Amino acid sequence: MNKKQVIKVLEEIATYLELKGENPFKISAYRKAALALENDDRSMQQIEDPASLKGIGKGTAQVIDELLETGESVLLNTLKAEVPEGLLALLKLPGLGGKKIAKLYQELGVVDLETLKQACMAEQVQALEGFGKKTEEKILKAVEASSQRPEQFPIEYMLKLSAQIEVVLMNIPAIDRYSKAGSLRRQKEMMKDIDYVIATEQPHEVAEAIKEGLEVSEVTGQGETKMSVILKDEWGVSVDFRFVTEAEFATALHHFTGSKDHNVKMRQLAKAQGEKISEYGVENEETGERLTFTSEKAFFAHFGLCEIPAEIRMGREEIAEAAEREAFDFVTVNHIKADLHMHTTYSDGAYTIEEMAEAARHKGYDYIVITDHSKSLRVAGGLDEKRLLQQREEIERLNANYGSAFKIFAGTEMDILSDGRLDFSNETLEALDFVIAAIHTSFSQDEATIMRRLRQAMENPHVRLIAHPTGRIIGRRKGYAVNMELLIQWARETGTALELNANPSRLDLTSEWVKRAQDAQVKLAINTDAHSLDMLDDMPVGVTAARRGWIRPETVLNTMSRGRFEAFIKEPKNA
């Protein structure tokens, strides 16, 4: 059994204990044990004594040892025999937790969604102690909605909704300031809902104005300090607004940004020095005095930490690292000097070379690379050698006008054909400034075939970058079968860079893999792959994804100055 499987069993045990209405601390002990394994970089085999990890004690270590020896857990098997499997789905219904589900099971014989629905319709649920008419109605509604609604939504969709929300927030005068919080601020790839923290002296007025301005289908909660609504969008996404005073804003923002695990660790740290963290500030447990902070940076500084970027607050090693460092020296949008991957009307882009160049120049970039598709990708209007040459001539004319103010480099996003051949000859590639290679066809080939294709591209002396290395679309398409460890190793051996595609539905490579790539001294490029002017605006999403992977500016090709980049593309690969 590998570590992933062991983690899964520990989490399963926790879930079953929850369904039994067990002691919450016992439940979280199993979750903590799973987390301890997950946060350790070693493989299961490399961890000699699991009990030596913080969070794993006698009981959980015994389960782990048993799993490694026999491949199963008596405890889990017993739980499974005791608790109907159909109850697992009930935990996902809002308003239902382990205690209530245990009661429904014991008193009414509810075993799954269907029997729960029947119990509600027979009005048996409202008769239970601790339940009532309203609860029964809520449960029934939730059961009916559960069949059609995904649990989590891709970031691309949530970013669009949040842009609409912010148009409303921006125009409410009673709001002093606001910020995204939660998973959206941490830029998780998939998330359940959207969170905002709002500084205001008039929470009631703001709540009313939000309800007025947004298309809301239901207000699911409203109190003095918070409001939760369901949007009238395709899926009925839920949005939480937290209202705080200006003084509380920094601690509230930290609190509602999470992650939960990060917050737990911060609070333990505070507790060890006699303080208590809440969304309202940091309280001295002895004197009761409460401190607030002007920024998250000041908040972290109070605990002897440098500012921890929101996107790495996962409750892993970031707090220990923050105690050691002056700052996290990650890449920022300001480091980005260029975009190395974009399309024009020559292939499937919506704007001309000049229009793309002008938009990039207005973003403050110093250079760009035009990389239209190559001839085999007919659906995208890929360029043949003749059109490529014409394009190059147009680029030279535009460059002549720019003088030293800006530069357009001529490139291609060359197709790696299904049989591994490349779409252009070396003679053609030699005439280009920057060559990207990518897979666009035959996604379902087996790993060996896909890897052979990638290998051939990487071995080519002109191919500088592999674009969107897995081809996934978040929440929709898994991507092709890439052995990522091998790909990173080859990238290192051949001096080929890998792309972090900034398109919010791609973000490919993931943060975990760009981190591994950086550790292997592989260069990365953060590119928008823009097919239109507004897609050039995706760069910050890509940069944040890179920061999630702890990427430093020197790892990223497009942080190079133009002069440095020109020298770089003249050097042979692996120089």
CB of 61 to DNA, least distance (A): 6
Nearer CB in complex with DNA: 79/557: 79
Could you tell me if 367 and 337 are in contact, meaning their C-beta atoms sit under 8 angstroms apart?
yes
Size of the site for DNA (CB under 7 A): 61
CB of 309 to DNA, least distance (A): 19
For the chain, the residue count is 575
Which DSSP symbol is given to 234? S
CB of 185 to DNA, least distance (A): 12
Nearer CB in complex with DNA: 222/441: 222
Q: Select the residue interacting with DNA from 15, 187, 263, 518 (CB under 7 A).
A: 263
Nearer CB in complex with DNA: 64/417: 64
Q: Which helix (H) or strand (E) holds 76?
A: helix 74-82
What crossing angle do the helices spanning 24-39 and 3-19 adopt, rounded to 10°?
A: 170
**Interaction between residue 23 and DNA (CB under 7 A):** yes
Q: For residues 85-114, which are near DNA according to CB under 7 A?
A: 93-101
Q: Select the residue interacting with DNA from 117, 276, 515, 562 (CB under 7 A).
A: 276
Nearer CB in complex with DNA: 261/355: 261
Please provide the DSSP assignment of 392-456 as one string.
Answer: HHHHHHHHHHHTTS-EEEEEEEEEB-TTS-BSS-HHHHHTSSEEEEE--S-TTS-HHHHHHHHHH
CB of 128 to DNA, least distance (A): 8
Contacts of 224 (CB under 8 A, 6+ apart): 203, 243
* Per-residue mark of binding to DNA, 133-172 (x: CB under 7 A): xxxx-x----------------------------------
Q: Strand 463-466 relative to strand 434-438: parallel, antiparallel, unpaired? A: parallel
Could you tell me if 340 and 525 are in contact, meaning their C-beta atoms sit under 8 angstroms apart?
yes
Q: Select the residue interacting with DNA from 11, 107, 112, 279 (CB under 7 A).
A: 279
CB of 279 to DNA, least distance (A): 6
Q: Find how far residue 518's CA is from the centre of its chain.
A: 18
Dihedral sign for Cα 480, 484, 486, 487, please. positive
Bond prior to 509 in cis (omega within 30° of 0): yes
Dihedral sign for Cα 476, 445, 498, 514, please. positive
Nearer CB in complex with DNA: 228/532: 228
C-alpha distances (whole Å) from 1 to each of 9, 32, 65 are 11, 19, 10
Contacts of 90 (CB under 8 A, 6+ apart): 96, 101, 104, 110, 112, 113, 116
* Per-residue mark of binding to DNA, 215-254 (x: CB under 7 A): ------xxxxxx-------------x--------------
What crossing angle do the helices spanning 98-108 and 3-19 adopt, rounded to 10°?
A: 60
> How many Å is the maximal CA-CA distance in the chain?
82
What crossing angle do the helices spanning 155-170 and 203-213 adopt, rounded to 10°?
A: 120
Q: Select the residue interacting with DNA from 3, 31, 32, 341 (CB under 7 A).
A: 32
CB of 63 to DNA, least distance (A): 8
Which of the stretches 41-49, 274-282, 448-456, 560-568 binds DNA when contact is defined by CB under 7 A?
Answer: 274-282
Nearer CB in complex with DNA: 49/427: 49
Q: For residues 57-86, which are near DNA according to CB under 7 A?
A: 57-61
**Interaction between residue 26 and DNA (CB under 7 A):** yes
Q: Which helix (H) or strand (E) holds 28?
A: helix 24-39
Q: Select the residue interacting with DNA from 278, 418, 442, 449 (CB under 7 A).
A: 278
Contacts of 83 (CB under 8 A, 6+ apart): 16, 19, 20, 105
CB of 330 to DNA, least distance (A): 25
Q: Give the up-direction half-sphere exposure of residue 196: CA atoms within 13 A in the CB hemisphere.
A: 28
The 3-state DSSP composition of the chain as helix, strand, coil percent (nearest 5) reads 50, 15, 35
Nearer CB in complex with DNA: 118/268: 268
Q: Select the residue interacting with DNA from 9, 33, 509, 514 (CB under 7 A).
A: 33
Which of the stretches 187-195, 323-331, 453-461, 522-530 binds DNA when contact is defined by CB under 7 A?
Answer: 187-195
CB of 65 to DNA, least distance (A): 11
**Interaction between residue 132 and DNA (CB under 7 A):** yes
CB of 316 to DNA, least distance (A): 16
**Interaction between residue 277 and DNA (CB under 7 A):** yes
Nearer CB in complex with DNA: 10/543: 10
Q: What does residue 147 show for φ and ψ, rounded to 5 degrees?
A: -75, -25
Which of the stretches 129-137, 351-359, 365-373, 403-411 binds DNA when contact is defined by CB under 7 A?
Answer: 129-137
Which of the stretches 272-280, 339-347, 460-468, 473-481 binds DNA when contact is defined by CB under 7 A?
Answer: 272-280
CB of 23 to DNA, least distance (A): 6
The torsion defined by the Cα of 102, 104, 105 and 107, in degrees rounded to 10, comes to 110
Residues that bind DNA (CB under 7 A): 23, 25-26, 28-30, 32-33, 53-61, 93-101, 126, 129-136, 138, 182, 192-193, 195, 221-226, 240, 256, 258, 260, 263-264, 267-268, 271, 276-280, 283
